[in-house]
Chain A
Amino acid sequence: GNSVTQMEGPVTLSEEAFLTINCTYTATGYPSLFWYVQYPGEGLQLLLKATKADDKGSNKGFEATYRKETTSFHLEKGSVQVSDSAVYFCALTRVTGNQFYFGTGTSLTVIP
């Protein structure tokens, strides 16, 4: 079946620290992969995506590379800010399916 596994949180970092949130997936065929961010009290926003192996998605300083050989899509940012405090979700979908498969979310808190 299809599933996404994210690293457990919560994660607490100091401002300007390096961020990695691990995400691995299980899927049949060739899924598309996504990272979403949810700020307190809001809906989820698309952060970045990658649709094929070795693609790198990037946005707002965040990056993630689609690694087919390790079935991973880890989220990274070189220098986090207090405003990056949020919950981050990894997700996948398949071209032939109607469903999205989400990880359980990782809460990030950045302290000044």
Chain B
Amino acid sequence: SQTIHQWPATLVQPVGSPLSLECTVEGTSNPNLYWYRQAAGRGLQLLFYSVGIGQISSEVPQNLSASRPQDRQFILSSKKLLLSDSGFYLCAWRKAGDSPLHFGNGTRLTVT
């Protein structure tokens, strides 16, 4: 069966520090990969998605970036965190077509 791993679970970082969140998927190949953020309330904001290695689509221009160095690995990065980057970050995967999204357990990021 397929599983998705996301780490770390919680992170507290000072303003201006770098960020690296990692997500890996097991048990499938060539998944579509996604990064979402939930800030304060309940809504989901799509940040990036990828349909293949090295292919990244950005939905919201900001100081975050994403990379997909391997088929089942998706990394969210920042060179300098802002207070507004605080939130709950969710990685997700799906197969192409109308298949459902499968989410990781999320990373709670607090920028102080």
**Could you mark each residue 80-101 of chain B with 1 if its beta carbon is under 8 Å from any beta carbon of chain A, else 0?**
0000000000101010111011
- The majority secondary structure among interface residues of chain A is strand
Q: How many A-B residue pairs have CB under 8 A?
A: 59
Count of chain A residues with Cβ under 8 Å from any Cβ of B?
A: 26
Q: Determine, out of B12-20, B40-48, B62-70, the stretch whose residues face the partner at the interface.
A: B40-48
Given A98-B49, A102-B44, A105-B43 in contact, is the A34-B103 Cβ separation under 8 Å? no
- B51 CB within 8 Å of chain A: yes
Give the interface size class of chain B. 20 to 34
A98 in contact with B98 (CB, 8 Å): no
B42 in contact with A105 (CB, 8 Å): yes
Which 10 residue pairs spanning A and B have beta carbons closest together?
A105-B42, A43-B103, A32-B98, A44-B103, A95-B98, A43-B106, A102-B44, A46-B100, A43-B105, A104-B43
A binding-site residues for B, Cβ under 8 Å: 31-32, 34, 36, 38, 41-46, 49, 51, 87, 89, 91, 93-95, 98-100, 102, 104-105, 107
